[in-house]
Structure 1
Amino acid sequence: MTPAARLSAAIGILDRVLAGTPAEQALTNWGRASRFAGSGDRHAVRDLVFDAIRNRRSHAALGGAETGRGLILGGLRAAGVNPDTLFTGEGHAPGPVTAGEQPQTPSELAALDCPDWLAPALQASLGGDFAPVMETLRHRAPVFLRVNTARLSRDAAIARLAAEGIGTRPHPLAETALEVTGNARKIQISPSYLEGLAELQDAASQAVVAALPLHAGQSVLDYCAGGGGKTLAMAARAELRLYAHDAAPQRMADLPARAARAGVAVTVLAGADVPRHAPYDLVLADVPCTGSGSWRRAPEAKWALTPARLAELCALQARILDTIAPLVAAGGHLAYATCSLLEPENQAQIAAFRQRHSGWHVTAERRFTPLEGGDGFYLAVLARK
């Protein structure tokens, strides 16, 4: 495909996304219908689509319309590319730019690709970091690996990955973290990945696990395990009796195989089984949230979020905290985590929990923002008296 044909493909996909089709589904449908597109074409079109979604407001202003064509046109202008060189109408290229497709100056919030209604809450939560964080979220996220340090050192992992053609460098957020600098698309077929020596995991997510009070012999429950990334990261830190649960069990479908690959044991629990293994020395709940700290990776979530959904998530987070508190052993710990930047999902939740439940005190609290390189995360560790 020519560069102009890739733009046309991205325009069509974005029109379907704007009409309500999830981006991954729209890309998959296009790929199945476009057998002529090689892997390079598919990767390039995917990058165009997700860059447009991350920058939906600003690109729509620069492109003159919130349409697939407008977003791609605005993206070219934002990159300093004259769209007339690609919007030629020749072959599979988009049609020429019209007089009505002139750029508009984005408002301050539009230039940061921030939803208007969320700006006050984000500004209150982030303070002086608001604009830099929102600017960072407009760009593609780095790719990180977690080294399974139970089996090899980080330096050894760097050397091994380099021999497999994958460039990496240490990242300061966690002693297990590597930032991928080259050939990221080779990771999932590399021997290091397939043998469980390295896993894809955000650096801030690794830092959350590094901050947990873990030691050998503990009984630990990952209550909102999802795919199990933090479960496996905890297993690499110490020999634990490790349990994993998720309200949507299908999210954990790959966890047993991943655990076996990493050489660790994890017991997957259905909801009814969770209390039977209590009490736990540590319960981690990386709760459902807005995902505002990871909008670089999941940009559709930024535009889909509503005040009603935020309120629903806050209520769910409170219910989860109330559910897991009785599962913690006397003297044990509850770890609450979100990948959110919003104070109502973070500090306010912990303050409200302590008002509802006596006998808990905060022993550690951390907030990470994308300015540190990884996703935005919040962690509070509470001890039970």
Structure 2
Amino acid sequence: MTPAARYASAIAILDIVLAGEPAERALTNWARSNRFAGSGDRAAIRDHVYDVLRARRSLAVAGGGDDGRALVLGLLRRDGIPVDTVFGAGGHAPTALTPQEAQVPAIDPSPAQAADLPDWLWPIWQASLGDQAMACAVTQQQRAGLHLRVNLSRATRQAAQDRLQAEGIASLPHPDVDTGLIVQDNPRRVAGSKPFADGVIEVQDAASQIAMAALPLSPGQRVLDLCAGGGGKTLAMADRMQTPVFAHDIDPRRMTDIAPRAARAGVQIKMVTSQALQGAAPFDLVLVDAPCSGSGTWRRTPDAKWRLTPERLSELNGIQAEVIAQGAALCAAGGLLAYATCSVLQAENDAVVETFVARNPDWHARPPLRLHPTQGHDGFYMVVLQRD
């Protein structure tokens, strides 16, 4: 495919996403229907779609409209790519711009548009992030880097770097966490590399690694990851402790990958069903990685930003109140409860913890770990609570 044809395909996919289809599903369906497209084509089209979704509102201003065609036009203008190399470039390219489209809009974006946030969310975002609100929003407009966690029970960080380099994957040590690597070149080779197959590395953003490194863990503790999902944090805790860690998720299907990942990493994870959870308690530490908006990770899942509504945020707050209470009930006397989200919104973080403590005055919270989205990591929040 020509570069212009790739943009044309991105326009078609964006129109499907804008009509309500999740981005991943739309991309998968397109790939299945267009098997002539090579891996390079699919990767480029995916990048175009996600680049637009990260900055949908500001690109709509630059492109003079909010359909796929206008958004791609806004993307080209933002990135300084001559529009005539795409629109009207022949073959399967998008049709040439009309005179009206060719006129660059002379409109100053509103703060919410410049931040690429829905109007209703911008005041909440501001209240949560203060004078960092716009900077964090702008950070979310850019692609996130690929971070790896080194299983230190399998290799040193330097040894992992050397093995990756031997396969053409350059990396740098992450400055904020001793298990972290920042991939510099060939990120798409990681999943097929020997270090990955041998359990030396896992893909995990530095924010999650920083949070797991901050947990007060020690060998011999009974530790439960209550909302384990795919098990990234469970595996990180197990590698650090070198003793078994318990994992549970209300939807067992989310934990399908934990067993093979644990085998590859050489760690022990004990899966616990909902029915067996109470019998397995009490635990010395319970991690509640609560369902949330994911607002700290919207660089990676930008269409989630546009699907979030006030009603859904309220629903999430209810779920968060339930799971923190559930986690507390599973803690041993004097045990620890770690409440975490990958959100930066106060409504999902401090407000949930403050309400829980107000209802349960025998628990007190330590100072929270609060990470804003930066070039170095995603946004994340975690607070450790202890029963008096």
Q: 361, 366, 371: which one pairs with 2:364? A: 361
Who is 1:103 aligned against? 104
Q: 350, 373, 376: which one pairs with 1:370? A: 373
Rounded Cα–Cα distance in structure 2 between residues aligned with 1:342 and 1:112: 15
- The one-letter code matched in structure 1 to 2:98 is T
Q: 119, 122, 127: which one pairs with 2:125? A: 122
Report if the CA contact (8 A) 1:122-1:130 is conserved. yes
Who is 1:282 aligned against? 285
Who is 2:65 aligned against? 65
Report if the CA contact (8 A) 1:173-1:372 is conserved. no
Q: 246, 258, 263: which one pairs with 2:261? A: 258
Who is 1:333 aligned against? 336
Shift of 1:100: 2.7
Shift of 1:364: 4.1
Who is 1:216 aligned against? 219
Task: Indicate whether 1:190 and 2:204 are aligned.
Answer: no
Shift of 1:213: 0.7
Report if the CA contact (8 A) 1:215-1:239 is conserved. no
Rounded Cα–Cα distance in structure 2 between residues aligned with 1:40 and 1:239: 40
Shift of 1:263: 0.7
Rounded Cα–Cα distance in structure 2 between residues aligned with 1:145 and 1:176: 8
Who is 1:137 aligned against? 140
Rounded Cα–Cα distance in structure 2 between residues aligned with 1:341 and 1:229: 20
SS for the counterpart of 1:276 is helix
TM-score (norm 1): 0.98
Shift of 1:89: 5.7
SS for the counterpart of 1:314 is helix
Report if the CA contact (8 A) 1:369-1:377 is conserved. yes
Shift of 1:164: 1.6
Aligned length: 385
Q: 157, 163, 173: which one pairs with 2:176? A: 173
SS for the counterpart of 1:335 is strand
Rounded Cα–Cα distance in structure 1 between residues aligned with 2:85 and 2:330: 63
SS for the counterpart of 1:178 is strand
**Aligned counterparts, 1:292-371, within 5 A:** 292-371=295-374
- The one-letter code matched in structure 2 to 1:54 is R
Who is 1:241 aligned against? 244
Runs of 4+ in 1 over 6 A off after TM superposition: none
Who is 2:77 aligned against? 77
Rounded Cα–Cα distance in structure 2 between residues aligned with 1:364 and 1:280: 22
Taking every aligned residue pair, what percent have the same amino acid on both sides?
Answer: 54
Rounded Cα–Cα distance in structure 1 between residues aligned with 2:293 and 2:366: 25
- The one-letter code matched in structure 2 to 1:359 is D
Gaps of 5+ in 2: none
- The one-letter code matched in structure 2 to 1:210 is A
Task: Indicate whether 1:7 and 2:7 are aligned.
Answer: yes
- The one-letter code matched in structure 2 to 1:317 is Q
CA displacement, residues 337-371 of structure 1 (integer Å, 9 cap, x when unaligned):
00001011111111111011121122341100112
Shift of 1:72: 0.7
Rounded Cα–Cα distance in structure 1 between residues aligned with 2:100 and 2:249: 50
- The one-letter code matched in structure 2 to 1:11 is I
CA displacement, residues 294-349 of structure 1 (integer Å, 9 cap, x when unaligned):
00000011111111111110111001111121110111100000000101111111
Greater Cα offset, 290-299 or 99-108: 99-108
Report if the CA contact (8 A) 1:61-1:103 is conserved. no
Greater Cα offset, 356-365 or 315-324: 356-365
- The one-letter code matched in structure 2 to 1:56 is R
Who is 1:227 aligned against? 230
Task: Indicate whether 1:18 and 2:18 are aligned.
Answer: yes
Greater Cα offset, 247-256 or 225-234: 247-256
Q: 130, 134, 148: which one pairs with 2:151? A: 148
- The one-letter code matched in structure 1 to 2:85 is T
Report if the CA contact (8 A) 2:4-2:89 is conserved. no
Report if the CA contact (8 A) 2:154-2:199 is conserved. no
Greater Cα offset, 367-376 or 228-237: 367-376
Report if the CA contact (8 A) 2:86-2:94 is conserved. yes
TM-score (norm 2): 0.97
Shift of 1:45: 0.5
SS for the counterpart of 1:7 is helix
Question: 1:214 and 1:364, CA in 2 relative to 1: closer, same or farther beyond 3 A?
Answer: farther
Shift of 1:271: 0.7
Who is 1:40 aligned against? 40
Gaps of 5+ in 1: none
Question: 1:217 and 1:308, CA in 2 relative to 1: closer, same or farther beyond 3 A?
Answer: same
Report if the CA contact (8 A) 2:228-2:255 is conserved. yes
